[in-house]
Amino acid sequence: MDKHVREAGKGVNGPPPRSLSQQIQCSSILTVHPQSRPDIALSLSGRLCRSGLLLAHYKFKPILLPSSHHSPFEIRAMDLSTATWTAAVVGAAAVYWFVWVMGSAEVKGKRAVNLKTGSVSRDQVQEKHRQFWSFFVRSKEDIAAASDEYRRISFIETYYDLVTDIYEWGWGQSFHFSPSLPGRSHREATRIYEKRVADAIAARPGQRILDVGCGVGGPMRTIAAHSGAGIVGITISEYQVSRAREHNRRAGLDGRCEVVRGNYLEMPFPESSFDGAYCVQAACHARRLEDVYREVFRVLKPGALFVTDDWVTTALYRPDDPRHVEAIRGTERGGALATLRAQHELAATARQVGFEVLEERDLALPPAEPWWTRLKMSRLAYWRNHLLISVLAVLRIAPKGMVEVHEMLCEAAAHMSYAGETGIFTPLQMILCRKPSIKP
């Protein structure tokens, strides 16, 4: 079990409390570490239920149990009315929970009851997740040495088949982190961040801009609406292409936003065919960063701008510190990344393929607020989502393997949060580049 989880779980597996008040106290104030995994939260829910039942038993004992001065008929009537009232209260709480509390988790356009897994059939989810996990759980060296690039790429597509709907349902249509902004919702901060991307490359009407690794098109739609430019997005995931096209159509942006399925290492676009390009937290999937940057360089017109932000380790990362190594490996595994590069490598690689680097900055640094606050969702959110997926899987509404996929993401979130808090990792290392103009 993950170290962070072990620490968080210590209280859960500690010696059972002796008295009821201690039992209740233990359950209700158990500080389930925000990075805990849902199995801990689930045992918390078990405790809460037990505490609730214990509370009901001890607190309502006179009503529930016969006493000498009531006739059997009165006691039966009291039992019935208590049971009715209890059922009504519990029922109302359940409706409130599933409609309002859970509803907030589903407001983003994807409902938990129709979590799909792209090209992975329902009965294959568990096996596909096992195959994916067995590939990415190996050592960095083994993954890097895996010369079968096709297999690696297809595992990335499998990853996004498995997680795209959970991402949309539990995060939204923009699959990236953004700096938090005081007084702004996460959604507003994400939109503001995406508009900054458009402004960085001076995207404007009449231009044709490339979105490298476009996901389901969250950034694409913000940038198209903000800049007036035409956007072409490319993603390795066929399922994301269909989701992005559906969102573009609903947003009325399908006239200016196009999505193609393809490998950003060998893009189906002619040389010098784009007026600008951006890549939001997607190049980190490439085994060699130069392969992506070289392709972007090829399809950009001379003088065009390219901006990218990506996942990197920072100068605070200590490869000799087991806790750092575990957090970074957990981040890589949970994000289907072959390896995280060091912060300075982005600009160096861009120069290597011929770009002029105009700006290089970690956008996560102050005055930006921590990007990981959103990821450290309340333990209730993790528990709520895991409970819902577990119930839906038992009811055969969600594919059985979805529980393992969700658990993988819970663990990934714990590693990413830890890596963010310790400053050894940033997902927001930005470089702004220009393809040199042709010398007269």
Ligand X SMILES: C[S@@+](CC[C@H](N)C(=O)[O-])C[C@H]1O[C@@H](n2cnc3c(N)ncnc32)[C@H](O)[C@@H]1O
Ligand Y SMILES: C=C(CC[C@@H](C)[C@H]1CC[C@H]2C3=CC[C@H]4[C@H](C)[C@@H](O)CC[C@]4(C)[C@H]3CC[C@]12C)C(C)C
Sign of the C-alpha dihedral computed for residues 205, 206, 207 and 210 taken in this order: positive
Nearest to 154 by CA among 305, 8, 274, 263: 263
| Residue 155 vs 229, nearer CB to ligand Y | 155
| Residue 4 vs 285, nearer CB to ligand X | 285
Span of 49-57, 226-234, 238-246, 409-417 interacting with ligand Y by CB under 6 A:
409-417
For every residue of 77-141, DSSP letters joined together read: HHHHHHHHHHHHHHHHHHHHIIIIIHHHHTTTS--GGG---TTS-GGGHHHHHHHHHHHHTS-HH
Smallest gap from Cβ 375 to ligand Y, in A, equals: 6
Task: Indicate whether 175 belongs to the interface with ligand Y (CB under 6 A).
Answer: yes
Q: Is 249 helix (H, G, I), strand (E, B) or coil?
A: helix
What does 167 bind: ligand X, ligand Y, none (CB cut-off 5 to 8 Å by kind)? ligand Y
What does 26 bind: ligand X, ligand Y, none (CB cut-off 5 to 8 Å by kind)? none
Task: Indicate whether 146 belongs to the interface with ligand X (CB under 6 A).
Answer: no
- How many Å separate Cα 423 from the centre of its chain? 19
Task: With CB under 6 A as the rule, give the number of residues binding ligand X.
Answer: 23
**CA 86 – CA 94 distance, rounded (Å):** 12
Q: Which residue in 375, 393, 431, 432 binds ligand Y (CB under 6 A)? A: 375
Task: Indicate whether 170 belongs to the interface with ligand X (CB under 6 A).
Answer: no
Contact partners, residue 91, CB within 8 Å, separation at least 6: none
Residue nearest to ligand Y (CB): 170
Q: Which residue in 166, 236, 346, 347 binds ligand Y (CB under 6 A)? A: 166
Q: Which residue in 264, 293, 306, 418 binds ligand X (CB under 6 A)? A: 264
What does 265 bind: ligand X, ligand Y, none (CB cut-off 5 to 8 Å by kind)? ligand X
Scan residues 363-392 and list those touching ligand X (CB under 6 A): none
| Residue 171 vs 382, nearer CB to ligand X | 171
What does 385 bind: ligand X, ligand Y, none (CB cut-off 5 to 8 Å by kind)? ligand Y
Task: Indicate whether 416 belongs to the interface with ligand X (CB under 6 A).
Answer: no
**CA 363 – CA 367 distance, rounded (Å):** 9
135-170 CB burial, b ≥16 within 10 A, e <16: bbeeeeeebeeeeeeeebbebbbbbbbbbbbbbbbb
Whether residue 367 has a cis bond before it, omega within 30° of 0: yes
Pairing type for strands 274-280 and 208-212 reads parallel
**282: alpha, beta or left, given left = phi > 0 and alpha = psi -120 to 50?**
alpha
Q: Which residue in 48, 265, 316, 357 binds ligand X (CB under 6 A)? A: 265
Task: Indicate whether 129 belongs to the interface with ligand Y (CB under 6 A).
Answer: no
Span of 21-29, 152-160, 385-393, 408-416 interacting with ligand X by CB under 6 A:
152-160
Contact partners, residue 383, CB within 8 Å, separation at least 6: 38, 41, 42, 44, 45
Smallest gap from Cβ 273 to ligand Y, in A, equals: 26
Q: Which residue in 27, 190, 308, 385 binds ligand Y (CB under 6 A)? A: 385
**CA 117 – CA 156 distance, rounded (Å):** 13
| Residue 9 vs 170, nearer CB to ligand X | 170
Task: With CB under 6 A as the rule, give the number of residues binding ligand Y.
Answer: 19
Nearest to 168 by CA among 286, 259, 247: 247
| Residue 27 vs 263, nearer CB to ligand X | 263
Please name the helix (run of DSSP H) or strand (run of DSSP E) that holds residue 259, with its range, or none: strand 257-261
Residues in contact with ligand Y by CB under 6 A are 166-167, 170-171, 175-177, 281, 284, 311, 335, 375, 382, 385, 406, 409-410, 412-413
